[in-house]
Structure 1
């Protein structure tokens, strides 16, 4: 008794509204099909009725009315899917009443009618809350007993037939209680499955966001080399940007990128799971790594990892610069102490009375001391470099402001030509360091030939739609031997140069996913910065 009370007092887990609606539609369709089947069965066996033989007219009228009500109920569910509990209760009450009339017209309980009652009771347990389902079962039990009692009186039949009806009615109560236990367990399983499905969907969404954010290209292929997963990095590295990722899903890789498909197939066949590839239409080499997700099955899925060699070189360059910075910083500190003593001694000597020869030697010492101090300062600046912090820089406005703030004395020599709406991603402080160094070098070398040099700053898109910035001077240019060692540390063509300006500028460019190049010219020199990071024009 306690378990039964606990069964109906427990909070019942509701169905998902969509699931409940589909179940009600299925049951409503069953009722409609059943009504027309029973009418057809009665008409076919009219001369020797299988059911309803005791009162054929009542049986046929009950079936006709039941068919009409079930049809109206189905239309109502289709066009007004609200207050489902009330609609379900109404349908079940109509079912019990119709079956009771048919049971009376049949002359008492039969196996066929009993099975139809069982369906109604179980449907109530599945579709309704526990209390309403039990009420439907009690209503069915009462109507069965009452119709049998009324039939015995009206037809002067043996009243002992009520015992069979009572046994059928008691089975309704038992089925209702047992059905509630099963239904509660099913609803609990459904709720747990729904929660797990929601958690899995959330994890999939999180994983998808993580995959989309990483810079390494990821591609998952099935056994037929159809694309199951691809992130934006893989699309940018190896595929056409004009084809949306959604259109690539479940498509053969060979149809979208035949070159990559052939290389992957060849690598799998030869068990060569890492190789280099330069995709057609791209200006960068890729390092491709293949991983079978199931090593025991040759037809398993394949994970393809793509990495840009330029990106790898950039990371190596950053690590190299960090190590070099730590080493040179320690050396520079050791050199600066005796250098400070030499500089101080030279200043004290300058206060003494020296002949012309000694004054000239002292001036040489002071010049070289300042040069060494400048070299050490550049080295320490390199070692103290902060991590790269790229920002979106509108080139036209930013270059004009940078020149006004940092090298206003060079402004009369500089001509700026920047296409409208050009923007790049770069660390502003590092780009400022690069341009100041290039502009100072350009003016210095151009003044060797012209009193009023002309320095041109040109920014535009190249053939690969990357932004390029050229710094062009009107100086004597560089020799072929100088070009070969131009970006090496401590290389300089000037007696007072440090040889670190271009080396640091190139390192800053590579740390920002850009290139610093020397472009040969017929007259003068041209240094070009190629910004490879994604850019957007307004």
Structure 2
């Protein structure tokens, strides 16, 4: 039986109040065509959800039919034995109806996607309606079967189109009115009340069918929208998780109490140095090292989002990670809670590395070319000055020749520093293992002997038999640069320079070079390791930059801090450079050059 698509019926559902999802009946959503206004996935979600829900409804009604059939059969059996004998057809009809409902439940299947329930109406709802109307008109066993007419009407309203549902209600109402006419036996005026009651029952059935079908369509529409929203939420969650997992910058999501709801691997690495060290649920107040972040979260909830600001996080022992932090407050429009605070963490090391790369890319080629062009003229000037100085006798002339020689040497050192930067940038890194204490002692002895600084430098080695991942020649250049830098600013007192080594609890091995020079200003500290940065005009500004480049080649780190040391019973302030080396794997063979002077 074909059904007509009427506006507002279950057959003409609309998704989100816009694109129509048309179907011949409640069931047909899986085959609902998509239009240019409606995405294909919407129809797919609608069809999958509607198919599952319709199957459950269909099975529930088919099971309820068996319950009604058994109830009628039991009623007839009890009436036949206890009160009065029933007509033979009534008992047979009850048995046949029970068997039919059982057979239909076992062998019938819900209509496939794209098919309507209307095709099954005749074998299910139609039979129910016919059987109940016969029982009502004959008043079998003296029972009023009018309430039973509600069931087929309700079933048609839920599973069928609106047209078929209203038709079922009209048929049930007409049967009820016909039964009232039969019962009046021609005396219609005397039975006007019964006829009016039957008419009102018919109107009520039609109203019930319309209201039930309308509400069913509305419920379906809301549930389909909810199903799609859940699907969209899952997709969005997967996308957000993928973005967070692969994003290079750290992201933390915390509430007003500092409890972290989400953290990507980059944020975990910034907080603990190793993503595995931070549990899934933690609080920014759990560790003192995270106090700056907890303070920023508190300020965000009090005064609003915080613009990018630099903060420091202690990751391991004295190693400090500088992080650029920006916060945003996330609050849902209809949420009365304080919401969440989203922290965006950017590792300054990576940012500075990108800046250094850009600087080197812009100056590297030019500097190397200029350095090579300077070497030949400088050699000629130096040679000419040496020949000229042999013929000079006046002290004033020899003093001028010495000034020329000193400036030539200064320019040669600058040229070599520039070429060293190019070599460090382009040289391939080979794995190397060395005994840190032995190599440090050898370099320090060489430097002390060369510069005559025996009483000025003190070496304290505490990393006995500990091997690190570093090359001996790189360590020599690193340590000589730091010693030259310390000697330039340290006092002439004894123990003005201290070189120490020790094992750090975090698993790294630390080399420290301390000098009693005036502590550096904070504005200078952040630029110490930048190329061509120097606090004096006579320096090339490449020494500390080369030190950091050497460390990064072997995953080591170098940083500066202003500290105090007890020297000869007196506390002296100064500057300390700390190098954290990765400890070599057990059983690794040390570099053969590590023991050479």
Q: TM-score, normalization: structure 2?
A: 0.47
Q: 2:123 aligns with which of 93, 97, 100?
A: 93
Identify the residue that residue 474 of structure 1 maps to in structure 2: none
Identify the residue that residue 35 of structure 1 maps to in structure 2: 66
Would the aligned equivalents of 1:217 and 1:234 in 2 still touch at CA under 8 Å? yes
Query: How far, CA to CA, are the matches of 1:295 and 1:7 in structure 2?
Result: 36
Q: How far 1:30 moved relative to its partner?
A: 3.3
SS of corresponding position for 1:398: coil
Identify the residue that residue 154 of structure 1 maps to in structure 2: none
Q: Aligned in 2, Cα 1:90/1:299: closer, same or farther, shift over 3 Å?
A: closer
Would the aligned equivalents of 1:375 and 1:498 in 2 still touch at CA under 8 Å? yes
Q: Aligned in 2, Cα 1:231/1:92: closer, same or farther, shift over 3 Å?
A: farther
1:218 partnered with 2:258? no
Q: 2:558 aligns with which of 507, 510, 515?
A: 515
Q: Aligned in 2, Cα 1:18/1:501: closer, same or farther, shift over 3 Å?
A: same
Q: How far 1:293 moved relative to its partner?
A: 2.8
Q: Unpaired runs of 5+ in structure 1? A: 152-156, 159-163, 402-409, 446-455, 472-476
1:292 partnered with 2:323? no
Question: Where in structure 2 are the equivalents of 1:78-477 lying within 5 Å?
Answer: 93-94=123-124, 96-97=126-127, 99-107=129-137, 112=147, 115-122=150-157, 125=160, 198=231, 200-212=233-245, 213-221=247-255, 227-238=260-271, 241-242=276-277, 244-245=279-280, 253=283, 263=295, 267=299, 271=303, 284=320, 291-294=328-331, 299-305=337-343, 307=345, 311-312=347-348, 315=351, 343-347=379-383, 355=391, 365=404, 368-379=407-418, 398-399=431-432, 435=475, 437-438=477-478, 462-463=504-505, 465=506, 467-468=508-509, 470=511
Query: How far, CA to CA, are the matches of 1:125 and 1:506 in structure 2?
Result: 77
Would the aligned equivalents of 1:322 and 1:383 in 2 still touch at CA under 8 Å? no
Q: Aligned in 2, Cα 1:516/1:206: closer, same or farther, shift over 3 Å?
A: same
* CA shift digits 1:68-108 (9 cap, x unpaired): 447x64xx99xx99979999888983554455444444448
Q: Aligned in 2, Cα 1:228/1:367: closer, same or farther, shift over 3 Å?
A: closer
Would the aligned equivalents of 1:516 and 1:527 in 2 still touch at CA under 8 Å? yes
Would the aligned equivalents of 2:255 and 2:340 in 1 still touch at CA under 8 Å? yes
Q: How far 1:301 moved relative to its partner?
A: 0.5
Query: How far, CA to CA, are the matches of 1:352 and 1:280 in structure 2?
Result: 59
Identify the residue that residue 455 of structure 2 maps to in structure 1: none
Aligned-residue RMSD, C-alpha: 7.2
Would the aligned equivalents of 1:220 and 1:302 in 2 still touch at CA under 8 Å? yes
* CA shift digits 1:248-307 (9 cap, x unpaired): 6xxxx5897798697578546754866968689886477766543349987331214164
Q: 2:579 aligns with which of 529, 532, 535?
A: 529
Q: Aligned in 2, Cα 1:68/1:490: closer, same or farther, shift over 3 Å?
A: closer
Q: TM-score, normalization: structure 1?
A: 0.51
SS of corresponding position for 2:432: helix
Would the aligned equivalents of 2:253 and 2:260 in 1 still touch at CA under 8 Å? yes
Q: Unpaired runs of 5+ in structure 2? A: 6-21, 33-42, 140-144, 180-184, 187-197, 435-442, 447-462, 486-498, 568-575, 589-597
Query: How far, CA to CA, are the matches of 2:514 and 2:271 in structure 1?
Result: 38
Q: How far 1:375 moved relative to its partner?
A: 0.5
Would the aligned equivalents of 2:258 and 2:285 in 1 still touch at CA under 8 Å? no
Q: Aligned in 2, Cα 1:356/1:366: closer, same or farther, shift over 3 Å?
A: same
Would the aligned equivalents of 1:215 and 1:233 in 2 still touch at CA under 8 Å? yes
Q: Aligned in 2, Cα 1:359/1:441: closer, same or farther, shift over 3 Å?
A: same
Q: How far 1:481 moved relative to its partner?
A: 3.8
Identify the residue that residue 573 of structure 2 maps to in structure 1: none
